[in-house]
Amino acid sequence: MMKHAWDSYRQYGWGHNELKPLARKGHSTNIFGNSQMGATIVDALDTLFMMGLHDEFRDGQAWIEQNLDFSVNAEVSVFEVNIRFIGGLLAAYYLSGQEVFKAKAVQLAEKLLPAFNTPTGIPWAMVNLKSGVGRNWGWASAGSSILAEFGTLHMEFVHLTYLTGNPAYYQKVMHIRKLLAKMERPNGLYPNYLNPRTGRWGQHHTSVGGLGDSFYEYLLKAWLMSDKTDTEARKTYDDAVEAIERHLIRKSNSGLTFIGEWKNGHLERKMGHLTCFAGGMFALGADGSPGDKAGHYLQLGAEIAHTCHESYDRTVLKLGPEAFKFDSGLEAVAVRQNEKYYILRPEVIETYWYMWRFTHDPKYRQWGWEATQAIDRYCRVSGGFSGVKDVYSSNPTYDDVQQSFFLAETLKYLYLLFSSDDLLPLDSWVFNTEAHPLPVL
Ligand code: DMJ
């Protein structure tokens, strides 16, 4: 599947950010501005390396050496460029030892730094790589920056300081942490929106899915990546998870554990595909949790994995919808037409893999195999892999996008799920939120 995804991109989309597998041409979205920065190449490198696809890896490296240029007049997402490009380049560097990847990661990081020039030091969501001018998404509450965006820079920026000796990167992310620590949190929860001019929260929405997710993930991973010396990060994670459990995690009528969304004092009983990563996060954080709650968090991870598997199993295609409800007799199914799509996302498979590593319960490989077969059957087209618009339809239409995270994450986690534990052991490597492995420092 990786060969098919890569070869198709190589043939029809080479150098573009992503691929349109039906139209057989390049694709891009606003997160990359109007750039052509080969996002799929950078995102896929470490997966190719791990799978032993060395010719393909060298091909990607040659493109990066000759073509990857960040002096472009493009307004890109700071978060997306950090997790996909800086994370991807750093992982490729650590795995292969090729200096070019480190050099490109540092060049790009320099271009992101102007995004931090705000009254509070909370970065803008977007920055123009050429002019350094930043701004926020028009749709975000009252000009706010997004928790999961400015809160998902820590791992990569700490590595940049470690590799270059330049303290600026470390200082920028530690400043964000200090500012957040001083702020009052409604019910102990972190709202998704924070205004970078005033330093005040926007709307009081909290989510472990989109807009919030990887902020929590990076607190835990900061601690793991520091060889468990960054106890401040661990404590912040533990406190956040305690509030999440109290206010957001519930059981459905039939006993499925789900994580809802908090909206202005009200719990919405809806869970996103993105939220499903949290099963793996709870399992990863079990060891080291306060009191004797390790068993509890491993169990919570298992319950989330089970719920997310149900969201796949209750569809026609055996692929999970973008969001599913637990309301008015509904259990783990999508209601709205615009929540029925599957766009090759990794989160459910990511959780299966973490649960497999921590329990070796064969059901996780079984579930991963079910997902593999479904993706290969319903998302494979002759020009690559495509998302589908309705997982409840036996005759689904395609969205015609091969997302770069399909190669970076979905296929990598599947490969890891069926590999032995000594491939990237979790006591030596920590995966960034785009599944790029970085070593414990
Ligand atoms: C990826 O880019 C990352 O996993 C991110 O944290 C969330 N969204 C996508 C995949 O669904």
pLDDT tens-place string over residues 14-23: 999 999 999 9
- Among protein residues, the one whose CA lies closest to atom 10 of ligand 1: 345
For residue 322, indicate whether it is catalytic.
yes
Confidence of residue 37 (pLDDT cuts 50, 70, 90): very high
pLDDT at 11: 99
Residue with token string 């896929």: 44
In one-letter notation, the amino acid at residue 171 is: Q
Marked catalytic residue, from 80, 350, 390, 400: 80
Q: Which of 56, 310, 322, 350 is catalytic?
A: 322
Query: What is the whole-number distance in angstroms between the Cα of residue 353 and the centre of ligand 1?
Result: 16
- Surface-to-core class of residue 333, CB atoms within 10 Å of its CB (0-12 exposed, 13-18 middle, 19+ buried): middle
In terms of Cα–Cα distance, which of 374, 358, 376 is closest to 417? Answer: 358
404 CA: nearest ligand 1 atom: 2
- Tell how far the Cα of 280 is from the centroid of ligand 1, in angstroms: 14
The pLDDT value given to residue 328: 85
Task: Count the alpha carbons within 13 Å of 159 in the hemisphere toward its beta carbon.
Answer: 31
Catalytic, out of 56, 213, 261, 434: 213
Element (H, E) at 194: strand 193-194
Candidate from 147, 154, 274 with most ligand 1 atoms within 8 A of CB, to mutate: 274
What tens digit of pLDDT does each residue of 392-441 get?
Answer: 999 989 999 999 999 999 999 999 999 999 999 999 999 999 999 999 99
Q: Which of 156, 238, 303, 347 is catalytic?
A: 347
Residue 159 has pLDDT above 90, yes or no: yes
Here the tokens at position 215 are 């902020």
pLDDT of the residue at 381:
98
Which of 319, 433, 436 has the most ligand 1 atoms within 8 A of CB, as the residue to mutate? 433
Is the predicted pLDDT of residue 218 greater than 90, yes or no?
yes
**Terminal Cα-to-Cα distance of the chain (whole angstroms):** 33
3-state secondary structure of 342: strand
CB distance 273 to 322 below 8 Å: yes
User: 292: CA distance to ligand 1 center in Å?
Assistant: 31
Instruction: Indicate whether residue 436 lines ligand 1 (CB < 6 A).
Output: no
Q: If you compute the radius of gyration of the chain from its CA atoms, what whole number of angstroms results?
A: 20
pLDDT over 90 at 148, yes or no? yes
Q: What is the pLDDT of residue 21?
A: 98
The answer to whether 433 is a known ligand-binding residue is yes
Q: Is 405 in the pocket of ligand 1 (CB under 6 A)?
A: yes
Ligand 1 lined by 434 (C-beta under 6 Å): yes
pLDDT digits (tens, 9 = 90+) for 289-340: 999 999 999 999 999 999 999 999 999 999 999 999 999 899 999 999 999 9
DSSP state of 82: I
Question: What confidence score (pLDDT) does residue 264 get?
Answer: 87
Catalytic status, residue 80: yes
Helix segments in 140-192, DSSP class H:
147-150, 154-164, 168-182
Residue 167 has what pLDDT? 98
Distance (angstroms) between ligand 1 centre and the Cα of 228 equals 25
Ligand 1 centroid, distance to 210 Cα (angstroms): 9
Helix (H, G, I), strand (E, B), or coil: what is residue 438? Answer: strand
Query: Looking at residue 142, what is its pLDDT?
Result: 87
Is 242 marked active-site? no
List pLDDT tens digits, range 222-257: 999 999 999 999 999 999 999 999 999 999 999 999
For the chain, the average pLDDT equals 98
The string over 170-187, giving b where at least 16 C-beta atoms fall within 10 Å of a residue's C-beta and e elsewhere, is bebbbebbeebeeeeeee
What is the rounded distance in angstroms from the CA atom of residue 55 to the CA atom of residue 32? Answer: 27
213 a catalytic residue? yes
Please report the pLDDT score of residue 409 as a whole number.
Answer: 99
Report the pLDDT averaged over residues 201-221: 98
Would you call 378 helix, strand, or coil by DSSP?
helix
